[in-house]
Copies of this chain bind each other. A is one copy, B any other.
Amino acid sequence: MSTPQTIRLRVSCPDRPGIVAAISGFLFARRANIVHADQHSTEERFFLRLVASLDTSDSVEAVRSEIETVAGDFSMELQLSVPNEEKRVALLVSSYAHCLLDLLWRFEQGELEGRPALVVSNHPDLRARTESHSIPYHHVPAPADGRAEAEAEMLELLKGVDLLVLARYMQILSKEFLDRVGAPAINIHHSFLPAFAGANPYRRAVERGVKIIGATAHYVTDELDAGPIIEQDVARVSHRDTVSDVQRIGRDVERVVLARAVKLHLEDRVLVDGGRTVVF
């Protein structure tokens, strides 16, 4: 006898009565058991994330094709996924190592679903560290006069990837690149957005004399540091902390915030609602 298959449903649609009843009725009729469910309604839209274990006689493919009818009745955007599916994650990095190493370690520990398929960097520095984890490392320089070529090369490398993680990748990606890459990208910005968007946030934080700094993980859009925020966290600083101290303190926040956002995304817990996120 086979182990029952687990599925995850993410649903976003205009809010109206009967959505939960339709989906739970559909699942119950197939003898599936709802293991977990979260829902949220704004004034206009309804959001749902649901985990169910199927009857042993049922299959993901069968559910996938038949749930389309339910989805159509409610104009649902519906995504059906399977936990621990082999998601291919590309890690983009420049020369700061902390976020990259932290993610590689978490993948090894089994903290994160999916697997790091490759690392792409505009610097050669982190090759040895990356390859010691048996991950391919691609050095794609990004000179000011060769950005288009660099992006073209990256598009080749990133074919078939399910997620891009910008683990302190210090280059701005063009709108065209984002349109063509075909996978969402998560960036870590080293400030408490929307404060200090743009360059040198820690220096500007010290100059402004703030008492708390932060980091923000967000989906990348073609507007700099303005994409939907997935996760943020903060740390306390004081007049004693120089820019260098703040950078050190900030590194601990950055890597944790990015790791949490990547984990949430890979577990299909993040639904985008315009410029914001619903995080279940």
Contacts and interface: CB of A to CB of B under 8 A. Distances in A.
Interface string A27-39: 1100111111111
Interface string A222-255: 0000001111111000111000000010001000
Contacts of A16: 33
Q: What is the oligomeric copy number?
A: 4
A212 B192 contact: yes
A81 interface: no
A195 interface: yes
Contacts of A117: none
Interface stretch (A5-13, A18-26, A66-74, A168-176): A18-26
A216 B44 CA distance: 33
B234 A234 contact: yes
A211 B229 contact: yes
Interface residues of A, number: 60
A150 interface: no
A114 interface: no
A214 interface: yes
Interface of A: 16-22, 24-25, 27-28, 31-41, 97-98, 101, 105, 109, 111, 132, 192-196, 207-212, 214, 228-234, 238-240, 248, 252, 256, 273, 275-279
Given A193-B208, A212-B232, 16 more contacts: A17-B28, A17-B34, A18-B33, A20-B37, A21-B25, A21-B27, A21-B34, A24-B25, A37-B37, A111-B248, A132-B132, A209-B228, A209-B229, A212-B234, A239-B276, A239-B278
